């Protein structure tokens, strides 16, 4: 073999190895690269799939059949919106970016009142539990009629012209209004005339969403991670088998991933998080313009016995004991944090008796299950 290769070849190999070793040392001295999470615009073609910068031609289908394409379709919007031009003023053959920009400009056009109405209605829906149009994703013929059409139009124009599209100003306007600041107490005359409270004669009671419960529990326990951005968090044990396994029961509640806000959690469409699902978190495999709100016994059992709730109750108790001296002060602090008020004399007595028998951590589990914590009243 030495006679076939020769000494010069071996010497050249040694020099290349030395050069590669020097390069590896220089690369190792460099700082770690930043991670960037983005979609790829370039990838090999696979059948009808093409990179986004090479959009495939779209044709009108004769009688809806893919085997009989008709004339090519040009970029445009809805012709039924008569107060805007449906066709886009862009050169023929424009790339994907130009077409998307044209659509965005059409949607955000100041004369497109559908957009402004839709935005203010959805914000109203989040604050009151029901929008002025209670089908927030359907303003068409199959949707509901607005309960206050003049108010919807006024809010849309105010948001567009006065607030200049500022969502912060819109939120401030709504939460400082007399309608929002009403009590949620029932009135006999109101129930007789408007049992669904569509005319807002009182404030609607709102239950915390599943994600808000999760994040609030972390905040009280002193474990909420407010870090913004970055990769999502897996709240399950994952096994990459021929059929992937997502096991939420084996996930450690004290894992640092568990402390991140719910907005950063990985969502598995085929296997929802059982904890959040029990608290009315919508099925991630479908669209949910409006969330359902239920009250079930299994929700109470989940808030009492889920490993996440049990562990966070222990952390909450440790925080109270660290920051306050004596059981009465710890219970008072817990009530102030969770309910924004001090406990009444009878509550303090009952809480002390309960904590004395079962421990402060179990009292925290009990408080996490109260209506005053779960409902915005």
Q: Which long-range contacts (CB under 8 A, 24 or more apart) does 98-104 make?
A: 99/55, 99/75, 102/75, 103/75, 103/77
**101 and 125 together in one domain:** no
Integer angstrom CA distances of residue 7 from 10, 15, 16, 344:
5, 12, 14, 93
Question: What number of other Cβ atoms are within 10 A of residue 242's Cβ?
Answer: 4
What pLDDT, on the 0 to 100 scale, is given for residue 140?
Answer: 83
The residue segments making up the domain with residue 154 are 113-193
- Among 299, 307, 301, smallest CA distance to 374 is for 299
Structural domain contains residue 165:
yes
Structural domain contains residue 36:
no
DSSP state of 72: E
What pLDDT, on the 0 to 100 scale, is given for residue 1?
Answer: 47
What pLDDT, on the 0 to 100 scale, is given for residue 238?
Answer: 83
For Cα atoms 26, 30, 33, give the angle at the middle one, nearest 5 degrees.
135
CA distance 281 to 299: 12
Q: What is the domain count for the chain?
A: 2
Alpha helices by DSSP H, 30-148: 96-107, 113-128
Structural domain contains residue 189:
yes
Token reading at 372 = 């005053």
Structural domain contains residue 37:
no
What pLDDT, on the 0 to 100 scale, is given for residue 157?
Answer: 95
Q: Which residues contact 133 (CB under 8 A, 6 or more apart)?
A: 121, 139, 143, 144, 145, 146, 147, 152
- Among 237, 247, 116, smallest CA distance to 170 is for 116
Structural domain contains residue 157:
yes
Percent of the chain with pLDDT over 90: 51
**87 and 136 together in one domain:** no
**118 and 187 together in one domain:** yes
What pLDDT, on the 0 to 100 scale, is given for residue 52?
Answer: 59
Low-confidence spans in the chain with pLDDT less than 50: 1
Please say which residue of 155, 172, 193 terminates a domain: 193
Structural domain contains residue 67:
no
Q: 233: which strand partners?
A: 265
Token reading at 159 = 């948001």
What pLDDT, on the 0 to 100 scale, is given for residue 99?
Answer: 86
pLDDT digits (tens, 9 = 90+) for 99-135: 889 999 999 998 888 999 999 999 999 999 999 999 9
Please say which residue of 193, 211, 235 terminates a domain: 193
Structural domain contains residue 88:
yes
What pLDDT, on the 0 to 100 scale, is given for residue 86?
Answer: 85
What pLDDT, on the 0 to 100 scale, is given for residue 371?
Answer: 92
**142 and 161 together in one domain:** yes
Please say which residue of 140, 175, 193 terminates a domain: 193
**100 and 127 together in one domain:** no
Structural domain contains residue 57:
no
**127 and 182 together in one domain:** yes
**121 and 95 together in one domain:** no
Question: What number of other Cβ atoms are within 10 A of residue 33's Cβ?
Answer: 6
pLDDT digits (tens, 9 = 90+) for 44-95: 666 666 665 666 778 889 988 988 988 888 888 888 888 888 888 888 777 7
């Amino acid at each position: 073999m030495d006679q076939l290769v020769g000494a010069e070849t071996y010497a050249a190999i040694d020099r290349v190895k030395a050069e590669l070793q020097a390069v590896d040392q220089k690369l190792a001295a460099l700082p770690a690269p930043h991670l960037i999470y983005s979609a790829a615009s370039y990838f090999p073609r696979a059948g009808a799939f093409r990179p986004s910068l090479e959009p495939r031609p779209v044709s009108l289908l004769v009688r809806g059949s893919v085997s009989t394409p008709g004339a090519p379709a040009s970029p445009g919007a809805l012709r039924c919106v008569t107060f805007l031009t449906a066709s886009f003023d862009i050169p023929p053959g424009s790339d994907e970016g130009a077409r998307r920009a044209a659509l965005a400009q059409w949607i955000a056009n100041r004369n497109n009142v559908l957009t402004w109405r839709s935005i203010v209605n959805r914000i109203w829906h989040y604050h009151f539990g029901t929008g002025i149009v209670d089908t927030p994703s359907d303003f068409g013929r199959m949707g509901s009629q607005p309960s206050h059409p003049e108010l919807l139009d006024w809010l849309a124009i105010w948001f567009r012209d006065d607030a200049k599209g500022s969502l912060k100003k819109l939120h401030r306007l709504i939460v400082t209004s007399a309608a929002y600041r009403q009590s949620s107490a029932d009135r006999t005359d109101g129930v007789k005339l408007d049992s669904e409270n569509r005319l807002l004669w009182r404030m609607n009671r709102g239950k915390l969403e599943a994600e808000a419960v999760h994040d609030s529990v972390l905040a009280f326990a002193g474990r909420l991670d407010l870090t913004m951005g970055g990769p999502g968090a897996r709240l399950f044990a994952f096994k990459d088998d021929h059929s992937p396994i997502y096991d939420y029961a084996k996930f450690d509640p004290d894992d640092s991933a568990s402390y991140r806000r719910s907005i950063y959690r990985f969502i598995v469409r085929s296997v929802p998080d059982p904890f959040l699902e029990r608290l009315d978190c919508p099925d991630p495999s479908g669209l949910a313009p409006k969330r359902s709100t239920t009250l079930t016994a299994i929700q109470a059992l989940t808030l009492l016995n889920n490993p996440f709730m049990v562990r966070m109750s222990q952390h909450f108790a440790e925080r109270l004991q660290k920051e306050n001296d004596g059981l009465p002060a710890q219970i008072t602090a817990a009530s102030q944090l969770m309910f924004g008020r001090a406990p009444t004399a009878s509550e303090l007595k009952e809480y002390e008796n309960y904590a004395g028998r079962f421990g402060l951590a179990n009292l925290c589990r009990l408080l996490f299950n109260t209506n005053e914590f779960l409902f915005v009243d």
